[in-house]
Amino acid sequence: MDFIFDKIKSYDTIIIHRHIRPDGDCIGSQLGLKNIIEQTFPEKKVYAVGEESLGFIHLGKMDHIRDELYQNALVFILDVANIERISDNRYRKGKECIKIDHHPKRETICELEWIDPSYASCCEMIVDFYEQNKSELKLSIDGAKALYFGIITDTNRFSTPAVNSRTMRLASGLLEYNLNISEIYQWIYDEALNITRLRGFVASNFICTRNGLGYINIDKKICNQYLVDANISNVLVNTLANTALVKIWFVAIFDAKTNYIRISLRSKSLPINQFAEKYGGGGHKNASGIIVKDFYIVNQLISDLDIYLKENA
Q: What is the pLDDT of residues 118-139, one digit of tens each?
A: 999 999 999 999 999 999 999 9
What are the beta bridge partners of residue 248? 213, 267
Mean pLDDT, rounded, for 186-191 = 91
**CATH domain 196-311 topology:** Diaminopimelate Epimerase; Chain A, domain 1 (3.10.310)
Residue type, 279: Y
Confidence of residue 23 (pLDDT cuts 50, 70, 90): very high
Residue 86 gets which letter from DSSP?
B
Mean pLDDT, rounded, for 19-29 = 95
Percent of the chain with pLDDT over 70: 100
Confidence of residue 1 (pLDDT cuts 50, 70, 90): confident
pLDDT of residue 203: 97
For domain 2-188, the CATH superfamily is inorganic pyrophosphatase (n-terminal core) (3.90.1640.10)
The yes-or-no verdict on residue 53 having pLDDT over 90 is no
Rg for the chain (alpha carbons), in Å?
20
Q: In the β-sheet with 260-267, what is the strand arrangement from edge to edge?
A: 207-208, 213-218, 248-255, 260-267, 287-292, 282-283
Asked if 105 and 46 touch (Cβ cutoff 8 Å), the reply is no
Domain boundaries, the chain: 2-188, 196-311
Closest CA to 16 of 29, 3, 6, 1: 29
What are the beta bridge partners of residue 285? none
Percent of the chain with pLDDT over 90: 91
The per-residue pLDDT for range 219-274, each reduced to its tens digit, is 999 999 999 999 899 889 999 999 999 999 999 999 999 999 999 999 999 999 99
Q: Which residues neighbour 255 within 8 Å (Cβ) at sequence distance 6 or greater? A: 229, 230, 261, 262, 291
Residue type, 22: P
The yes-or-no verdict on residue 54 having pLDDT over 80 is no
pLDDT of residue 234: 87
pLDDT of residue 292: 97
